[in-house]
Amino acid sequence: MSDKPTVLIDEENERALVSAAVQSDENWESFNREFDVAELGDCVARTVAMTAQEMEARGETVGPDELRPRLYAAHKDKPDFRAACVQAADCGVAALYESYAGPVQDSIDRRREFAKLQAERRHHEELEAAILDPRRRDWRALLPELNGRKNDLSSDPFLCHDVFALSASCDAGQVLLGNEWLRRTDQNSLVSMAGTGKSVAADGGAMLWSAGLPYLGIQPAEPLRVALFVSEDDRVTIGQQREGLLAYSGEVLGRGLTAEERELIRENLLIDFSREHVGEDFVPKRLEPVAADHKADLVIINPLLGYVGGNLVELGSKMLRGDVLPALQRLNAGCLTVLHTNKLGREGMTDISQLYAATGGAEMANIPRGIVILNPTDDENIFRLRVEKRLTIGWTDEHGSFVREHYVARTGDPMRPAWISLPYHETRAQLEAGETKPGRPAKCAGKHVREVFAREGCSEMEKGDLLDRLEERCQVVRKTAENTVNGLLSAGQLTVARDESRKGGGHKLQFLALA
C-alpha cells in the first residue's frame, strides 16, 4: 500500500473496482485492504461533486432533480454505486465534498497508522523468533535491526514510557455520559433479566442523549451522535418507545421536548435494524463502517447476545476485546452494551452476585469499565438501577449527595413505554416501609398482616407480637417489619386500638387493629 493512495474516479478500472466492491463480499475484502472503507464514501462524494461541476460549467441548473438522471445514466451498469451517489446528491451538493474530505482523510490516516503499527509489531516478533531459533546461524546479524525496531516502537501511541506524564483528569471532550462514567474508547454495560425493560432503557437513552438530555438520571456531556444497533426490536417497537418519551416527557424530563431537541434527535440518532451481520462479521463489516459514516460519539449494542452468533461465554470475550475495543479506538467513540442475566427469580440478585450476574461469565464483568444493573423490587411498580463499576455515574439524592442507586417506574402504558425517574429518599422510604401506593399494603410483609390477624383469630394484637409473626412469616429482619407496620399505620390501614401499661411500670404496650 502506498503512503497516500488516491482514488481517481475518472479511471474506468477503479470505477469498476468500486462497483464490484459494493456488490461482492469477496471483492469488498480486497477493496477494504487496498483503499479503506471510508474512501468509498470519498469516491461517492467526488463523483457527485464532479458531476455537479460539469453541469455548472455548461450553465445547467444543479440540484437533486437535475443530478439524479445524470447519475443514473452515467452509472447504469453499477446499481449499488449509482444508488449511493443518488442518495448523496439528495442530501445536498453544496459543500458535499468539503464535508467528506476532513473526516475521510482523518479516518484513512488513523487506520493506516494502526495498520503500520500492527505490521511493526509482527516484524518485531518475527525478528525475536529468528534470533531465538537455534537453527539460525546468522542470528547476530539480526541484532542491530531488532534494536532499531525497538527504537521505532518508542513512538507507538499505545505505549506509555512515563507514568508521571499521565493526566489524572479527563479532557472534557473525552467524556460522554455521567461524571466520566463513560469515556471515549471505553465500553460499559447495562445488565438486567429478560422482560425487565432493558430495551426501553437503552433505546430511550439513545434518543434523549442524542439531544443532550438526561435519561435514567444519566446526563450526557453534550448532544451525542449515537449509532444504535438493535437485533431484537423492530421499527414499530422503537416508534412506540419514541411515543412514550413524547407522551410522558413531563414525567421523564419535567417538561416537553422542544422543536430544537426533536431536530437534534432526528439528526444525531442513527438506528441499524440489520440482522445479517453476526459473529466475526458484525464489527468489521457492519458496526465500524456504519458508526464511522455516522461519525458516532456513542455506539449502543442492544443486546450483545444478538450479535455474538454463538455461545456468549466462548465468543463474547473475543468480540469485545478483539473487535469492539480496537474499533472504538479507531472511531474515538464509546460503547454501551446491553447484557442479559442468567435466569433469575423475582427476588433478583444478591449484592454479592450482581456484578457477575450477566450471561457470559466473569469476562462480562471484567471487560466493561462501568456496569449498571436494572432490577425489580418488592414493589412491582418500582425498579432499581444500581451502579456496580465506576461509580462516577452522577446520581445524587435530593440533597445533592452521591448515591449508588436510582429508582425508576414504568409509564404504565405498554404501547407507550418509558422509564420515569423517582425521588430517591421518598422512594427508598416507601420500599423500606413496604408501601406500594397510598392505601395499599406492601407486596411482601404488608400483605400478610391481615392473614396474621385472621390466623390469630383476634381483632387486635400487641405490636411486638405482630412484629414477631411478620418476621417469621416473611423471613425479614426486625427493622423491615417495623418499617412495614409503621408505614401501614401512616397509610391508615392499621390503627392504635389502645395503650396498656406494663405491670411494674416501664414502656406501655401498644395494641394495633385493622382499620
What are the φ and ψ backbone dihedral angles of 189, each rounded to 5 degrees?
A: -135, 145
Q: Which helix (H) or strand (E) holds 513?
A: strand 509-514
Within 166-278, where are the H helices?
198-209, 235-247, 249-253, 259-268
What are the φ and ψ backbone dihedral angles of 418, each rounded to 5 degrees?
A: -170, 160
Do the domains 173-420 and 434-514 sit in the same CATH topology, yes or no? no
Average pLDDT over residues 314-333: 90
The answer on pLDDT for 482 being more than 70 is yes
Q: How far apart are CA 302 and CA 457, in angstroms?
A: 54
Burial class (CB in 10 A: 0-12, 13-18, 19+), 129: exposed
The answer on pLDDT for 95 being more than 80 is no
The answer on pLDDT for 170 being more than 70 is yes
Neighbours of 167 (CB within 10 A): 6
Average pLDDT over residues 395-412: 90
At 69, the pLDDT band (50, 70, 90 cuts) reads: confident
Enter the DSSP assignment of 34.
H
Q: How far apart are CA 258 and CA 480, in angstroms?
A: 44
Q: How far apart are CA 189 and CA 196, in angstroms?
A: 15
CB 177 within 8 A of CB 218: yes
The answer on pLDDT for 435 being more than 50 is no
Residue type, 506: G
How much is the pLDDT for 3? 41
Of the candidates 121, 128, 111, 119, the residue with the CA atom closest to the CA atom of residue 153: 121
How much is the pLDDT for 436? 39
Highest-confidence range of 46-55, 85-94, 236-245, 362-371, by mean pLDDT?
Answer: 236-245
How much is the pLDDT for 316? 87
CATH level 3 topology of 434-514? Arc Repressor Mutant, subunit A (1.10.10)
Q: How far apart are CA 264 and CA 311, in angstroms?
A: 38
| Domain boundaries, given as residue ranges, for the chain | 1-160, 173-420, 434-514
Q: Which helix (H) or strand (E) holds 463?
A: helix 463-474
Give the model confidence (pLDDT) of 103-142 as tens digits. 445 555 555 666 676 677 777 777 777 766 767 777 667 7
CATH level 3 topology of 173-420? Rossmann fold (3.40.50)
Give the predicted TM-score (pTM) of the model.
0.58
Compute and round to an integer the Cα radius of gyration of the chain: 30
Q: Give the bridge partners for 227, in sequence order.
A: 270, 299
Give the model confidence (pLDDT) of 351-375 as tens digits. 434 655 566 667 888 899 999 999 8
The answer on pLDDT for 178 being more than 90 is yes
> Average model confidence (pLDDT) for the chain?
77
